[in-house]
């Protein structure tokens, strides 16, 4: 029997009520979800609006810059797993749209700590959970002079996953080098069947000058290698390699095929979240990422060692080891304080022209 027009109208009205009801429930659920999400990650409407407008006024900053220190640790599977072998200051110009990367050698002696700077996180965590980030920030400030607003601690075991999620990165290797003593994870205490040189604990890694595509494992070896011959085995060379990998990773994340792939974005977020401990909440991280994601100028420098025999000028020297309980450390070249280093860092951050003249 055909349905008449008078019968259709009530059916349509009934369906419309159901549809409106579903939409209302969905709206309420969405509002509740966003409310919980904003509470969990401190993403208030104010922060969401700032991110949308690229308004950086809510970020901690000094003279138009936000300064972050990135710390890298080996993790539980490595000897000295909570020592920060990577220490890099990232100074982001919020209006000038530039980034200054400044590598700090892990062997710098901190008088107030009475130990190397790479142990600050370890001592802070011994005192209280979360104290490592605080002590590491203050120790870095003691050296570089500029205020450190945020800190990000990266576990190298998770660092590999981040690079693998984006499909690897292309890194420009500046010099060919070979490291015959790269430690193999998990073999730190292997007796090597009585071999007194414990050769089974190490492997040989080689990198060739030019553009090299690296997966997570390769990139990790590239930034952590310490025993190559000549200059490539120094902390200063490692600092340059770490900066290069960081810049390459940033470039890869910003590629269209990365951020337009929803599944890849989810995996990347999880990998970063798993590998990173930070005192930034999500709104701050997103705002810094948005500002840093633009086509900006990146300057890379390092606080280097003075080596007259190699005709290399620097701001640090290696003092007699007996003065520091037999340990190899680095201290300021002049005046036994960090004033010269602070002046150099300030110069680099401001992008002045005469910075190299301060290294003498």
pLDDT tens-digit map of 9-19: 555 555 555 55
Indicate the SS3 state at residue 99. strand
100/37 same-domain check:
no
Query: Would you say residue 144 has pLDDT above 90?
Result: yes
Q: β-strand 297-302 against 98-103: which pairing, if any?
A: parallel
pLDDT in tens, 272-331: 888 999 998 877 888 888 787 666 788 889 998 888 777 788 899 999 999 998 999 999
CATH number at 272 reads: 3.40.630.190
Both tokens of 126, joined, read 């011994």
Mean pLDDT of the chain: 84
Radius of gyration of the chain (CA): 26
Range of weakest confidence among 15-24, 70-79, 268-277: 15-24
Nearest of 58, 33, 62 to residue 47 by alpha carbon: 58
Q: Are 103 and 303 in contact (CB under 8 A)?
A: yes
Query: Which positions ≥6 away from 264 have C-beta within 8 Å?
Result: 165, 166, 258
99/226 same-domain check:
yes
DSSP string computed for 256-269: HHHHT-HHHHHHHH
49/60 same-domain check:
no
Give how many domains the chain has, as a whole number: 2
DSSP string computed for 152-216: EEEEHHHHHHHHHHTT-EEEEE-S-EEEEEEEPTT-TT--GGG-TT-GGGEEEEEE-SEEEEE-H
47/61 same-domain check:
no
43/63 same-domain check:
no
Give the pLDDT confidence score for residue 135 in this predicted structure: 96
Phi/psi for 162 (5° steps) reads -60, -45
Q: What is the DSSP letter of 2?
A: P
Give me the domain span that covers residue 42.
5-53
Which of the pair, 106 or 356, is modelled with greater confidence? 106
Nearest of 342, 349, 355 to residue 93 by alpha carbon: 349
Give the pLDDT confidence score for residue 331 in this predicted structure: 94
Query: Would you say residue 46 has pLDDT above 80?
Result: no
Range of weakest confidence among 37-51, 117-131, 197-211, 319-333: 37-51
Both tokens of 319, joined, read 């003092």
228/91 same-domain check:
yes
From residue 212, alpha-carbon distances to 89, 173, 206 in Å are 25, 7, 11
Give the pLDDT confidence score for residue 67 in this predicted structure: 96
Give the pLDDT confidence score for residue 24 in this predicted structure: 52
């Amino acid at each position: 029997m055909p349905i008449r027009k008078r019968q259709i109208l009530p059916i349509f009205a009934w369906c419309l009520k159901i549809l409106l009801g579903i939409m209302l429930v969905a709206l309420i659920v969405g509002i509740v979800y966003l409310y919980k999400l904003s509470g969990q990650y401190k993403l208030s409407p104010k922060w969401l609006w700032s991110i949308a407008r690229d308004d950086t006024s809510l970020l901690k900053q000094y003279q138009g810059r936000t300064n972050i220190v990135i710390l890298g640790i080996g993790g539980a599977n490595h000897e000295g797993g909570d020592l920060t072998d990577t220490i890099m200051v990232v100074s982001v110009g919020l209006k000038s749209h530039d980034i200054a990367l400044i590598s700090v050698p892990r062997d710098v002696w901190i008088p107030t700590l009475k130990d190397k700077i790479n142990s600050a996180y370890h001592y802070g965590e011994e005192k209280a959970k979360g104290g490592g980030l605080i002590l590491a920030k203050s120790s870095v400030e003691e050296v570089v002079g500029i205020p450190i607003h945020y800190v990000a601690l990266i576990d190298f075991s998770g660092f590999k996953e981040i690079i693998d999620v984006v499909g690897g990165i292309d890194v420009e290797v500046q010099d060919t080098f070979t490291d015959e003593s790269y430690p193999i994870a998990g073999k730190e205490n292997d007796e090597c069947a009585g071999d007194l040189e414990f050769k089974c604990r190490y492997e040989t890694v080689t990198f060739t000058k030019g553009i090299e595509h690296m997966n997570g494992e390769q990139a990790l070896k590239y930034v952590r290698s310490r025993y190559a011959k000549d200059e490539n085995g120094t902390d200063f060379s490692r600092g340059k390699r770490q900066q290069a990998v960081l810049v390459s990773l940033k470039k890869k994340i910003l590629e269209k095929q990365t951020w337009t792939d929803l599944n890849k974005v989810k995996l990347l977020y999880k990998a970063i979240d798993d590998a990173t401990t930070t005192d930034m909440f999500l709104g701050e991280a997103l705002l810094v990422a948005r500002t840093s994601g633009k086509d900006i100028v990146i300057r890379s420098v390092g606080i280097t060692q003075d080596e007259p025999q190699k005709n290399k000028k620097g701001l640090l020297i290696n003092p007699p080891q007996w003065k520091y309980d037999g340990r190899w450390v680095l201290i300021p070249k002049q005046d036994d304080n960090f004033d010269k280093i602070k002046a150099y860092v300030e110069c680099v951050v401001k992008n002045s022209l005469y910075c190299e003249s301060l290294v003498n």
